[in-house]
Amino acid sequence: MEYAAAKSTICRQCGRYFSPFAPKPGLKLRVKEEATAAEDSSILHKFEGFWNRQRSSVVECFECQRKHQVSGAATSTICSGCSAHIDLQNYKISTGFSRSIRTRGDVHLTAKGDLSSSSVICKSALIEGKLRGDVHCNDTAKINFSGRIAGRLTAKHVIVERRADIHCSRRVRVASIEIRGKMSGEIIAKTMVHIHKRGSLEGNVTAKAITVEKGGMFSGQLVIGQADFTQGELLPERTRAVVNGPEPDIPGAAPEPLPAT
């Protein structure tokens, strides 16, 4: 079983790529056992199999998160686990665009593009135009324009190019980020924040590590490690310490006031 509009797929048994078609009534399909030994041992056959393996990639299902191998030339496929449709197309946006995108391919927002979709999920993205919607990249997102990013941006790795000058209205959640141009906004990184030479970052940063090269600039509040503790969580412990503590020895001294809650 295959998606009706699919132009290519991969065999679930042998892993070879082929173009699906509906067999005509009475048409006898040639099975693998009927192939001659000369075809199997030919140099052309071996080269074709090697080429198909090189162009194949591993994709993950959006629904069940099961991974399976597909051809690099495929534009869509069906999950072998839950039979859900997986889009593999690349999208190039050069005008106003407001539809939702969920693909394992790439998204290119050109300088003339205006992306206002509520949800865009892709493998990697190149942002050169207006971004007013939310974008989630499973791999790398490159930003190469000057302006304001009103949408939410999450990615495994973000690269702010040298000519970029952006202001992020919402938090940017990444695993790691490289800043080669100018950026302002709040960043939450799981691992590393790297500011290159001539790079500039203005805003609060929460990360495990930060690197600022000579010539780079960082201005803002920096939190290294976990940032889950707040003043409200520490107040009860401090209150008990003041209440249960000894009385002051200085005569006439007023007791220390309790902190405001």
Tens digit of pLDDT for each residue in 86-110?
888 899 999 998 889 999 999 999 9
Residue 171's pLDDT band (cuts 50, 70, 90) = very high
Give the model confidence (pLDDT) of 180-235 as tens digits.
Answer: 999 999 999 999 999 999 999 999 999 999 999 999 999 999 998 764 444 333 34
Name the more confident of 238 and 17. 17
Mean pLDDT over residues 66-89, rounded?
A: 84
| Backbone dihedral angles phi then psi of residue 251, each to the nearest 5 degrees | -65, 135
Does the pLDDT of residue 62 top 90, yes or no? no
Residue 157: per-residue pLDDT:
95
Specify whether the CB–CB gap between 118 and 135 falls below 8 A: no
**Burial status of residue 141 (CB atoms within 10 A of its CB: 0-12, 13-18, 19 or more):** buried
Give the model confidence (pLDDT) of 1-48 as tens digits.
Answer: 676 677 777 777 776 777 776 665 555 555 444 444 444 555 555 555
Name the more confident of 183 and 151. 183
- Return the percentage of the chain with pLDDT > 70, whole number: 71
> pTM score > 0.75 for this model?
no
Mean pLDDT over residues 140-158, rounded?
A: 93
- Give the distance from CA 244 to its chain's centroid: 50
Residue 238: per-residue pLDDT:
44
